[in-house]
Structures are given as structure tokens and as C-alpha cells.
Chain A
Amino acid sequence: MTTRRKQIHLGVHFPGVNSTTVWSDPESGSQIDFASFEHLATRAEAAKLDFFFLAEGLRLREHKGRIHDLDVVGRPDTLPVLAALSAVTERIGLAGTINTTFNEPWELARQFATLDVLSGGRAAWNLVTSPDAFTGENFRRGGYLPYAERYERAAEVVEVARTLWDSWDDDAVLADAEGGRFLRPGAVRPVEHHGRYADVVGTFTTPRGPQGHPVLFQAGDSAEGRDFAARTADVIFSMHSSFEAGRAFYDDVQARLVAAGRSRGDLKILPATTVVLGDTAEEAAERAAHIRRQQVSGPTAIAFLEQVWGRDLEAYDPDGPLPDVDPDVENISITRGRVRHARDPLAIVAAWREQAEANRWSIRDLVIHTTTRGSFVGTAQQVAEDLDRHVQEDASDGFILVPHLTPHGLDDVLDQVVPLLQERGVFRTEYSGPTLRDHLGLGRPEVADQATELAG
């Protein structure tokens, strides 16, 4: 190979609560049993992937005032699962989504420092900001924030966490038994922060992890979210996986990164994506269509329409035409605890009616088509080429692979596609270092740098 090709970064997403997971498939296993987590993490590690990723939700979702029961419901707690996985893996990064609105910086900082220490430098924190009152009902602070303040608090929480991580020098533990000094004098410094969202004074409890700071991910798609990522994060977990949308997002974020005084490459962009393989392109397309029908059951299709219509549509046949009633525009909070909300239901419904009529779509067909997101479908060879093209042409720096089946859903991708990427010279065949920062090609933050930054 003459020119060095951009290296692809790959993570696996253990699906929790979402409509991607086909729990009704006979091959679908437990989303709670630790063996499921262990399977995906160890398989991904054997394929030399960068990291294992967990999402988080802090309130069971509701639809029409009752718990939404059509998707997977329930998940274990993010950080304890990652800590347990650190016992059964050696190299793969362990990325946990943790909300900045419903947690306090002191405990977050010690949890992530602990995970980094226990895992030998493999911790990552995916910062999410979901600030809603619905989730806040589970928390004692009463805890939600106005939407406009979500990233202000997130920024302050991260700033305090970084200060805490840097309050212990890397070599703070001296353990000089002879001389009776456990900590090196001056190596652990008290911290004081008085801000709008956090008021923290004290000497931190937990040694600095091998990575200095855990890798920081951000997920949130607004302009504020992208700016926050450009200033703060090492990785963006995005959802723009089609080529055009990926390119546009990539350009936008790189511009923000430069505006924030950082360099291209300092921030990796990794969209979530699904992959469907077949021995031929046709077979793959057929499988993909079959999976989409499994993902969108009749009741799921109706529930999806109800979100937009703001009405009970249970009387309608999912295999029949769209409802003839108009949406109730007042009732847009029919579904709570979800990221997606319809902003202009009348316009959406008008467009859908046109499409359904033109294509002779049933309700279920329409929902399948409108909710299909970017996905790589084809033979292993085609998918490998396509993934590589996205990365070489800056539509992303890699992907977070989301299986539709737990826990075996990525076995074929790891077995068939990853070796082809390795053959192309765009994916590692061995880990080059022990930490997630090593896998991602990120530098290690020094205590001294941070201190100067704070002083300056």
C-alpha cells in the first residue's frame, strides 16, 4: 500500500431499550444476563475492536400514560456492568453512557476514575444531557433542568470532574513502607469549585486512572450539543450514518472543532449503524427487509403513528390504510422518555398520506419506510468496501455497530467483515497499546497541562 489510509475505529453497542432489538426472534437472548454482555464484549475484543458501548435511560418510557411494553424494557446499571466486564476482558475499551443532569460531579469523577483504574485504562464516559422533568421524577433533586441549560450544567460537571482527576498526580501513591509515606507529599491537592451548577470543596478520594482522564464521548445532535462536543469531547456518538448526512455532519463538526481551537482528528465521529449480511446482495436485501418487518410489529407500527397523531389508534389495522382522522396537535407528549418528538404533526401526516397513497403502503409499510435509518446491507465484501469508503471520504471516523439480536447479532460482522477491513489495511490486527486512548490514537492529558490551563 502506497498511501497510508485512514484507520477505522469500531465499537459495539449492546442494545438495551430501543426498537432495533428484535426480541421476538427465537435467537434473541437475554438483555439482562451477564453472559450476554460477556459474549458481545469478548467477541468484539477477539476482533480487536476499539470499545464496547452501553446506552442509558433513567425512566421507563411511557406511551398513552402507561409503560411502553412493545420494545425491550429494562436494563442493568451501566457502570457496574462495565466494571464486571473489565474482569473478563483485557484490552477492549468500556464506554458507559451517564447523564450529567441526574448525577453529581464528585461521585461521577470517582466512579470513572475507579473504572479506569480497575480496567487498566479502558474507561470512557458518553456524556448525555437528557434534562427532562419526566426522568427527573426519579431523582431527589427534583432534578430536571430547563432544556436551554442542559449543556451549561454538563460543561461544569465535566470541568469539575477533570479538576478532580487532575488533583492526584499520576505517581501519587508512593507506598514507602520503610519511610512510612503512603502518598507522595504534595501529590494530592485539595480542590475548590464554586459554580452555578456545582459547589465542590475537598480532597478527592481516588487515584488518577491510567488514562489520566477517561475518554469522553458526547451524544446530542443540536447545535449546542455539537459545540459542546467540539470544545470537550474525544468522540461523538452520532446517528448520521448515510453517506450524505454523514459528510454534512462531519464537515459541520470539524468546523466547530477548529473554531474551538482544536485540530482535525482531535474529535472522532462515530455514528451508530446496523449491518445486514448475505451471500449475495439480493439475499442481504431480503434479510434486511425481514428484519425490518420483525422490528416493526403491528402494535409497534400503531404506537408509532399514535406518537405523531396524538391519538389512540388501536382500532386501526396495521396492514390497512392510514387513519382518516387528523392529528391532535395539542397532545404531542403522548409518549414520554423518548428522544424523538414530532414537531409539526399536521405537515408530517400530510406528507405521509401522499407517500402511502403513491406507493400503496399500509400503516406498517409506511412506518417501516419512514423509520429505516442508514444501514449497511450486502455481502461482507460490499459492506467492507462501503464502510471503508465512508471513512476514507470523511463521512465518519468509524462506526458503532448496533446488532438487531442480543447477544449474537454481531458475530457474523466480526467474523466476516472485520477481516476484510484488516486485509484492506484499514483496521488493526493487534492492539497497539493497553488503553482505549491508545486504540483511538488520542493523547494522554497531563496533570501539568491541565493546571496551566486552569490558571490561564
Chain B
Amino acid sequence: MSQHHRHRTDLSAPSVHLGVDLTDAGAHPAAWRDLGSQAQRLFDAQRLASLVATAQRGLLDLVVLDDAFSLQPVQRHGAQGRLDAALVASRLAPRSAGIGLVPTIDTTHTEPFHVSKAVATIDHVSRGRAAWGVGWSTTPEAARAFGRKGVQDEADAVDEAGDVIDVVGRLWDSWEDDAEIRDVATGRFVDREKLHYVDYEGIRFRVKGPSITPRPPQGRPPVVVRATSDAALTLAARHADVVRLQATSLDEAVAQRELLRTRAADAGRDADQLRVLVDAFVVLADDEASARARLELLDDLEPRAGASTTFEHVGTPDALVAAIDAWVAAGAADGFVVRPSSLSTDLDALVDKVVPTLQSAGLFRTAYPGRTLRDTLGLARPANVFAATA
């Protein structure tokens, strides 16, 4: 696959990447109380499938699905309850096309072997549209639910996440692409020279390998890391294909992205093979006053906890387009993970108003460029570490 060089000024190669967060009824804790939220059907597969269909209509790069092993913290009137995100992603795969599916899967309490085959399978089922949102748990709730080990602090959990990402990647590589040979003459189904033991022995866990699941279509499904702290940013620089940055201003994002690129280069990686998406909380309406009024209404129902750590856009679709253009042009981001305040309202506005405007400005593609999520993100298919050293 040829290296995908992306010049922001080159209109023939539109460069903005857009994802959307489908968690809960929306990113605002009161979203479920919004008109049309279908909160009764929050856990209904049909509702989720129709959200993905909308996102796909907008040619968005990917949808992300949060998960955690504990119930959402009790808010005054918050929605609570979670489905297993990996299974939701798999459920959404067969009836969608083009769009990437990014479930969050924990690294602190789950088995790396299970994580590896789950994501590989979502990639098989979606024919190359899976990514892995790397999660880690630092709460006593999650630790007590498993009862296997004590609470880990952030540094420790992030460190372990790095080990898990490393091992999961090797498990994906533990089958070379052409390991299945079906050689009738010799009676051999696989060429066992192309299956590899991982033989990982770390301080926290060990895995023998090979995987039971053949190498996924993308080779390695993209790894998505949220850079929520300095430690997480370092983790992302070392291991992520897609980094979700948390930045409240353009300048902060520029600085973070530079830091990320430097650390990636220090880790021996090609920084151009990293896609940086800034989390964007959005409230969209035809005029700014209406958007503000809608946010106030939601805030009245359930105030958002703490000060925002991410970029917020409360206003018109056109103003969001301008912001996206400015951030991408300034090198602050390769795109955004849009977190609609309310999925029932803001997702349609994103797809029907923001995307067409971006497209007419030549900033967003008008079709999926290929079949896999790596194609969409312009990421090369990685070489197999075992094949490379063989």
C-alpha cells in the first residue's frame, strides 16, 4: 500500500477525519431526557443500528462505544446501564459498510488473549472495519467486581495497558496472512511455520499463543487511545494508531499534537502514521442562540460534572465547519471525535448539515476510499512482526 501523504492545502485529498461517539443517549448526562431520545430503547439493537446507519450516511470514519465494568456513577438524574461494547460493535457489523466500529475494551481486568480474539473477530465479521478503544480501570468498583486484584493507580494501569496492547498486537501477528494452505496433497490445513508462539512473560501476565483466531483482515485493527493524561499520551505515542486528544483550545491541541509526534518519533515510530482526533462536545442548532438555549435546558435537567476538558462547540453547523477547518489547517488535529450532546438531535445535524458543507468546501471525502477502516484513515497495513523477522 502506498504511503498516504496528506497535504491540508491539497483539495484532491480531503483530510478531515470524523468519528462520532454513540455512547448512551448522547454526551450530555441529560440527553436521555431530550425529546426523541428513545430512552426506553436505550439498549435496543435497532436503535443502535439506526444511529450507525445515520453516521454511515454521513460517511463518518468511525463510531465509538464506551464501556466499563462498573455502572455509571450515580448522578442526580443520569442514565445508567451498559452493554458489553465489543458485542454491540459485532452486532452492528453485518448490516453496515464503510464505517469503522470502535468498542472500548478494558486492559486491566480482562485477559489479553480474550481481547485479541474479540477484536480480531469483529474485524473478520465487519471485513476490516474494527478498531480497539483501549480502556483501563482505576476504580475500586471495577477491581471489586472482578475480585482478582487490588486497585491500580493510573500510572500502573496505563503501564499494564501498554503491555496488553503489545501482546494483543503479537497475537494478531501470530498467524501470518497466508498460514491457511489447505494442501490436499500432504493433508496439511495450515503451514505451521506461519503460526507463531508469542511466548510473552511479563511481570503481570504471560501468554503462550498463537491466537486461535486467524490474522484479522486489517492485519492489526487500529488501536485507539484517549490521551487523558501525560502517561496516557505517552502510551498513545508508543502504541496508538488513532489518538483521541482532550484539548479545550486550538493552541493547546497544537502543543499536545506536537508533543505526541515527538514522543512517537522518540519511540521509533513514523509520526505521520498517527491520526489525532480531538474530542468535541457539540450542541448544534440553526442559530447560536437556539443552541445555547438547548444546552441550558439540558444543564438545568442535569448539570455536567466539573469543568470541560475538551473542545466544545455550541452553535451552528457552519460555525462548526469553520472551527474544524481552522483546527485542521493549523495542524491541531487530523479531525474530531464528535460527542453529540444528544444523539437524537445533534447526530442528524452533523450528518445532514456539517458534512455536506465540509464536502462542498473540499474538506471531507464524498465516498469511503476503500473497504477497511485503515483505508479510511489512510493508515498503511502493518507488516507482521513474525514474518518480518523470519
Residues of A within 8 A of B (CB): 23-24, 32-34, 38, 57-60, 66-67, 69-77, 79-81, 83-84, 86-88, 102-104, 106-107, 110-111, 114-115, 117-120, 137-142, 172-173, 175, 177, 180-183, 188, 198-207, 297-300
Of B113, B141, B191, which is in contact with the most chain A CB atoms at under 10 Å from its CB?
Answer: B113
B146 contacts A104, CB within 8 Å? yes
B86-127 Cβ-contact flags toward A at 8 Å (1 or 0): 111111111100000000000001111110011011101101
Which of B76, B82, B121, B195 has the most C-beta atoms of chain A within 10 angstroms of its own C-beta? B121
Contact B83 A118 (CB under 8 A): yes
Choose among B40, B144, B208 the residue that contacts A200 (Cβ–Cβ < 8 A).
B144
Q: Give B189 Cβ to nearest chain A Cβ, in Å.
A: 6
What residues on A are CB-neighbors of B189 within 8 Å?
23, 69-73
* A70 close to B187 (CB less than 8 A): yes
Q: A182-B32, A202-B144 are in contact. Are A67 and B113 (CB under 8 A)?
A: no
B125 touches A81 (CB 8 A): yes
- The smallest C-beta distance from A166 to any residue of chain B, in angstroms, reads 15
Q: With A and B bound together, what is the CA distance between A102 and B148 in angstroms? A: 13
Q: Given A66-B192, A69-B190, A299-B186, A76–B45 Cβ distance below 8 Å?
A: no
Out of A75, A117, A175, A204, which one reaches B71, CB within 8 Å? A204
Query: Which among B199-207, B225-233, B324-332 touches the partner chain?
Result: B199-207
Given A86-B45, A104-B148, decide whether A74 and B91 contact each other with a Cβ distance below 8 A: no
Q: Are A88 and B120 in contact (CB under 8 A)?
A: no
Q: A-B contact count, CB below 8 Å?
A: 222
Could you show 18 A-B contacts with beta carbons less than 8 Å apart? A34-B124, A59-B208, A72-B189, A80-B87, A84-B93, A88-B95, A111-B87, A117-B45, A142-B206, A182-B79, A182-B81, A199-B147, A200-B145, A200-B146, A202-B141, A203-B141, A299-B186, A299-B188
Q: Is the CB of B43 within 8 A of A80?
A: no
Known contacts A74-B180, A80-B86, A83-B87: A60-B210 contact under CB 8 Å: yes
Asked if B80 lies at the interface with its beta carbon under 8 angstroms from chain A, I say yes
Residues of B in contact with A, size category: 35 or more
Q: Judging by beta carbons under 8 Å apart, are B69 and A107 in contact? A: yes
- Give the interface of B toward A (CB within 8 A): 32-34, 37, 39-40, 42-43, 45, 49, 68-71, 76-84, 86-95, 109-114, 117-118, 120-122, 124-125, 127, 141, 144-148, 175, 179-180, 182, 184, 186-192, 195, 204-210, 212-214, 301-302
* Contact A140 B83, beta carbon cutoff 8 Å: no
The docked-state distance in angstroms from the alpha carbon of A117 to that of B213 is 26
Of the candidates B32, B83, B89, the one having the most CB atoms from chain A within 10 angstroms of its own CB is: B83
**B83 & A177 in contact (Cβ 8 Å cutoff):** no
Nearest B-chain residue to A203, judged by Cβ: B71
Residue of B nearest to A25 (CB): B184
Contact between B187 and A298 (Cβ–Cβ < 8 Å)? yes
Residues of A within 8 A of B111 (CB): 102-103, 138-140
Complexed CA–CA distance, A172 and B81 (Å)? 10
Which of B93, B109, B186 has a CB less than 8 Å from the CB of A87? B93
A62 to chain B, nearest CB (A): 10
Instruction: Indicate if the CB atoms of A76 and B125 lie closer than 8 Å.
Output: yes
Provide the residues of chain B in CB contact with A199, threshold 8 Å: 147-148
Q: A114 contacts B87, CB within 8 Å?
A: yes
